[in-house]
Structure 1
Amino acid sequence: MTGSPRGRRLGVDVGKVRVGVAVSDPDGILATPLVTVPRDLTTDADAVPADIAEIARLVTDNEAVGVVVGLPVRLTGAEGPAAIDARAWADTLARAVAVPVVLSDERMSTVVATRRLAERGVRGRKQRAVVDQAAAVEILQSWLNAQRRQ
């Protein structure tokens, strides 16, 4: 990956209820699902939200060299409330970790992830449990592929 240091990266899909997380191999070729973290919507300005703290721990535990956060822009390219929320979440994460946090266009990642899970026969409650991780895989894999093309 030209211009990027070798090492694992985390991919993150920030939702209203859950945060899906994926991890890459050290060579930046393949993204795999890692975990789903409950979203912490508490607004105590003095405390680090539990979801941010957990992602920071995952960065350390996986020796990640960067985090790719999905930016849910609209199909038109405009940013709505979900994108504003993802930007704010990424800014908070960036203050909590010592690695770069980048935003990556994630248009359709959840749709693609849901379709792929359905094709594998994963539906309903089982799908809801893993769709956030699958979306994080889509976000990270797209970013990794783009880095290799550069």
Structure 2
Amino acid sequence: MPLFNPHTLRASIPPGARVLGLDPGSKTIGLALTDVSLTLASPYLGIPRRKLGEVAKTLADIVRKNDIAALVAGLPLSLDGSFGPAARAAQDWMTDLSDRLSLPAALWDERLSSSAVNRFLIQEADMTRKRRAEVVDKMAAAYMLQAWLDATRKDDDAPE
């Protein structure tokens, strides 16, 4: 299944369905969920990064339990915005995952999402390094997913 344009993806989501956000790290894949109104993204889980088939099985259960209609994954562009090897690998990974789950998917720029979340957790939440490591991936997924929600919201969908 080819990856969607992020705006086209949003238009394809049926009413009452959710979107699963993924922030694939080297050790953990952070997960976040939208609400059914596609207004708010919330941290959900961090799952171990394993072979794609194992990850797909875990995600298939999450998709089924949460009425997920689409996937949005972080796209690790270079700081200058270029599409380097990490972005290509993320694109290939997401295309394969989308096919395995039979769900439409899009990629969204995740530059500095983990840095922003870590800064928040240190400055505002005063978390220890160990505790930050436990939550940063799923919070980064929520940060990225919320950015996608905000950028793809139609003007008539904006909260008052």
Measured against aligned partners, the alpha-carbon deviations of 1:55-90 in whole angstroms (never above 9, x if no partner) come to 222112111111100001011111233222211220
Is contact 1:20–1:132 with CA below 8 Å preserved after alignment? yes
Would you say 1:126 and 2:134 are equivalent positions? no
Q: Name the aligned partner's letter for residue 116 of structure 1.
A: F
Q: Which residue of 24, 29, 37 maps to 1:14?
A: 24
Equivalent residue number for residue 3 of structure 1: 11
CA distance in 1, matches of 2:12, 2:105: 13
CA distance in 2, matches of 1:73, 1:117: 23
TM-score (normalizing by structure 2):
0.83
Report the identity percentage: 35
Equivalent residue number for residue 100 of structure 1: 104
CA distance in 1, matches of 2:152, 2:12: 8
Q: Which residue of 81, 86, 94 maps to 1:82?
A: 86
Is contact 2:21–2:142 with CA below 8 Å preserved after alignment? yes
Q: Which residue of 111, 132, 141 maps to 2:146?
A: 141
Q: Return 5+ residue gaps in structure 1 as ranges.
A: 42-47
CA distance in 2, matches of 1:52, 1:116: 31
Q: How many equivalent residue pairs?
A: 144
CA distance in 1, matches of 2:47, 2:85: 21
Q: Return 5+ residue gaps in structure 2 as ranges.
A: 1-6, 156-160
With 131-140 and 49-58 compared, the bigger mean Cα shift is at 49-58
Residue 4 of structure 1 and its aligned partner are, at CA, apart by 4.3
Would you say 1:50 and 2:57 are equivalent positions? no
* 4+ runs deviating over 6 angstroms: none
Q: Name the aligned partner's letter for residue 142 of structure 2.
A: V
Equivalent residue number for residue 37 of structure 1: 47
TM-score (normalizing by structure 1):
0.88
